[in-house]
Amino acid sequence: MKSPLEILQKYFGYDNFRLEQANAIENVISKKDTFVLMPTGGGKSLCYQIPALVLEGTAIVISPLIALMKDQVDALRVNGILASYINSSMSFFEQNETLNQLKNGKLKLLYVAPEKLSSENGAFLEMLREINISMFAVDEAHCVSHWGHDFRPDYLFLNGLKKQFPKIPVIALTASADEITRKDIIKQLNLQNPLVLISSFDRANIKYFVQSKQSVLQNIIQYLNEHPDDSGIIYCLSRKGTEELSKKLKENGINSAFYHAGISSLERAEVQENFLKDKTRVMVATIAFGMGIDKSNVRFVMHADLPKNLESYYQETGRAGRDGLPSEAILFYSSADVMKLKKFAMIEGNQEQSELMLQKLKQMSDFAEMQKCRRQYLMEYFGEKHDGNCNACDFCLSEFENWEATTDAQKLLSAVFRLKERYGKNLIIDFLRGSRSVKITDYMQTLPTYGIGNNHDKSYWQNLVTQLLINGFLSESNEDFSVLKLNEESKLVLFKNKKVIFRKVKEKAKAVNVDVVETHYSTSTIDKNPDLFLDLKSLRREIAERENVPPYVIFSD
For ligand ADP, the binding residues (CB under 6 A) are 14, 16-18, 21, 38, 40-46, 175, 294, 296, 322
Amino acid (1-letter code) at residue 418: R
Considering only residues 375, 425, 499, 504, which one is a binding residue for Zn ion as defined by CB under 5 A? 375
CB atoms within 10 A of CB 385: 7
Considering only residues 185, 236, 357, 393, which one is a binding residue for Zn ion as defined by CB under 5 A? 393
Q: CB of residue 346 vs Zn ion: minimum separation in angstroms?
A: 33
Contact region for Zn ion (CB under 5 A) — 6-14, 31-39, 384-392, 480-488?
Answer: 384-392
Contact of residue 425 among Zn ion, ligand ADP, Mg ion, none (CB under 5-8 Å per partner type): none
Burial of 179 (0-12, 13-18, 19+ CB in 10 A): exposed
Contact of residue 393 among ligand ADP, Mg ion, Zn ion, none (CB under 5-8 Å per partner type): Zn ion
373 touches Zn ion (CB under 5 A): yes
Backbone angles phi, psi at 251, to 5 degrees: -60, -25
Q: CB of residue 460 vs ligand ADP: minimum separation in angstroms?
A: 42
SS3 155: helix
Q: CB of residue 57 vs ligand ADP: minimum separation in angstroms?
A: 22
What binding mask, one character per residue, do residues 286-305 give for Mg ion by CB under 5 A, x or -? ------x-------------
Q: CB of residue 514 vs Zn ion: minimum separation in angstroms?
A: 16
SS3 291: coil
Contact of residue 296 among ligand ADP, Mg ion, Zn ion, none (CB under 5-8 Å per partner type): ligand ADP
Which of 489, 490, 184 is closest to 172 using CA atoms?
A: 184
Contact of residue 375 among ligand ADP, Mg ion, Zn ion, none (CB under 5-8 Å per partner type): Zn ion
CB atoms within 10 A of CB 99: 17
- Helix, strand counts (H, E) of the chain: 22, 18
CB 146 within 8 Å of CB 184? yes
CB 378 within 8 Å of CB 328? no
CB atoms within 10 A of CB 5: 15
CB closer to Mg ion out of 172 and 452? 172
CB closer to ligand ADP out of 4 and 453? 4
CB closer to Zn ion out of 231 and 371? 371
Contact of residue 149 among ligand ADP, Zn ion, Mg ion, none (CB under 5-8 Å per partner type): none
Task: Name the helix (H) or strand (E) containing 490.
Answer: helix 488-496
Residues 30-69 touching Mg ion, rule: CB under 5 A, are: 44
Beta-strand relationship, 501-505 and 400-404: antiparallel
CB closer to Mg ion out of 48 and 209? 48
Which stretches of 30-168 are DSSP H helices?
45-54, 66-78, 92-103, 122-130, 161-164
Task: Name the helix (H) or strand (E) containing 401.
Answer: strand 400-404
Q: CB of residue 370 vs Zn ion: minimum separation in angstroms?
A: 12
390 touches Zn ion (CB under 5 A): yes
Q: Rounded to an integer, what distance in angstroms lies between the CA atom of residue 234 and that of residue 316?
A: 10
Contact of residue 308 among ligand ADP, Mg ion, Zn ion, none (CB under 5-8 Å per partner type): none
Beta-strand relationship, 298-303 and 327-333: parallel
Contact of residue 440 among ligand ADP, Zn ion, Mg ion, none (CB under 5-8 Å per partner type): none
Contact of residue 289 among ligand ADP, Zn ion, Mg ion, none (CB under 5-8 Å per partner type): none
Which of 195, 197, 171 is closest to 38 using CA atoms?
A: 197
Contact of residue 46 among Mg ion, ligand ADP, Zn ion, none (CB under 5-8 Å per partner type): ligand ADP
Q: CB of residue 198 vs ligand ADP: minimum separation in angstroms?
A: 13
What binding mask, one character per residue, do residues 394-413 give for Zn ion by CB under 5 A, x or -? --x-----------------
Q: CB of residue 276 vs ligand ADP: minimum separation in angstroms?
A: 12
DSSP string, 13-29: --SS--TTHHHHHHHHH
Which stretches of 258-318 are DSSP H helices?
265-276, 310-317
368 touches Zn ion (CB under 5 A): no
Contact of residue 510 among Mg ion, Zn ion, ligand ADP, none (CB under 5-8 Å per partner type): none
Which stretches of 277-350 are DSSP H helices?
310-317, 335-346
Q: CB of residue 28 vs ligand ADP: minimum separation in angstroms?
A: 15
Contact region for Zn ion (CB under 5 A) — 61-69, 192-200, 365-373, 428-436?
Answer: 365-373
Q: CB of residue 64 vs ligand ADP: minimum separation in angstroms?
A: 12
CB 261 within 8 Å of CB 288? yes
**Residue number closest to ligand ADP, CB atom:** 43
Q: CB of residue 47 vs Zn ion: minimum separation in angstroms?
A: 30
Contact of residue 17 among Mg ion, Zn ion, ligand ADP, none (CB under 5-8 Å per partner type): ligand ADP
Q: How far apart are the first and last CA of the chain?
A: 85
Give Rg (Cα) of the chain. Answer: 28
CB closer to Zn ion out of 375 and 425? 375
CB closer to Zn ion out of 37 and 373? 373
Contacts 24+ apart (CB under 8 A), 162-166: 162/189, 162/190, 162/191, 162/192, 163/190, 164/125, 165/128, 165/133, 165/136
Backbone angles phi, psi at 468, to 5 degrees: -65, -40
For Mg ion, the binding residues (CB under 5 A) are: 44, 292
Q: Which residues bind Zn ion (CB under 5 A)?
A: 373, 375, 390, 393, 396
